[in-house]
Amino acid sequence: MKTLWLFVCMWACAHALGRGDLEKYGPVRLKLSGLNKCDHNRSLNLDVSGINVHFYDFQKNDVKNFTIGNAAKGILGIKKLNKTKKFIIFVAGFTSNINDKTEEKVRQTFRNFPNSYLIILDHSPYTNDKEGYEKGYRRSVKYVHYIGKAVGQMLAGLSQGGIFPKNMHCIGFSLGGQILGHAGEMFINITRQKIWRITALDPAGPCFYNDFPALEIRSGLAQYVEVYHCNAGGFGTTSVLADIDFFVNRKGAFQPNCSTPPIPGIYSSITSNRCSHRACVDIWMASVSHPTWFLAKKCDKYRDFKNGNCSQNVSTIAGFWNPGNAAGKFYFSTKGYEY
Please report, as ranges, the residues that interact with ligand NAG according to CB under 6 A: 41-44, 65, 82, 84-85, 98, 115, 149, 182, 185-186, 189, 256-257, 298-300, 307-310, 312-313, 338-339
* Min dist. Cβ of residue 309 to ligand NAG (A): 4
In whole angstroms, the minimum distance from the beta carbon of 265 to ligand NAG comes to 18
Residue placing its CB nearer to ligand NAG in the complex, 323 or 336: 336
- Supply the minimum distance, in Å, between the C-beta of residue 149 and ligand NAG: 5
- Spatial CB neighbours of 220, under 8 Å, sequence gap ≥ 6: none
Nearer to ligand NAG, 6 or 44 (CB): 44
Least gap, CB of 12 to ligand NAG (angstroms) = 29
Contact between 144 and 69 under an 8 Å Cβ cutoff? The reply is: no
The dihedral formed by the CA atoms of 191, 197, 198 and 199, expressed in degrees to the nearest 10: -170
CA angle 90, 98, 280 (to 5 degrees): 50
Least distance CB 63 / ligand NAG (angstroms): 7
Q: How far apart are CA 38 and CA 26, in angstroms?
A: 21
Query: Residues 118, 103: contact at Cβ < 8 Å?
Result: no
10 Å Cβ neighbour count for 329? 20
Q: How far apart are the first and last CA of the chain?
A: 44
Shortest distance, CB of residue 14 to ligand NAG, whole angstroms? 22
- Determine the length of the chain: 339
- Shortest Å distance, C-beta 39 to ligand NAG: 7
**Which is nearer to ligand NAG, 197 or 278 (by Cβ)?**
278
DSSP assignment of 152-205 equals HHHHHHHHHTT--GGGEEEEEETHHHHHHHHHHHHHHHHHSS--SEEEEES-B-
Nearer to ligand NAG, 24 or 274 (CB): 274
- When the beta carbons of 2 and 192 are compared against ligand NAG, the nearer one is 192
Residue closer to ligand NAG by CB (options 29, 219) is: 219
CB nearer to ligand NAG: pick between 182 and 229: 182
Query: Nearest-CB residue to ligand NAG?
Result: 115
Residues whose CB falls within 8 Å of the CB of residue 9, separated by 6 or more in sequence, listed in order: none
Q: Which residues contact 181 (CB under 8 A, 6 or more apart)?
A: 148, 198, 200, 203, 215, 216, 217, 218, 221
CA distance 34 to 24: 15
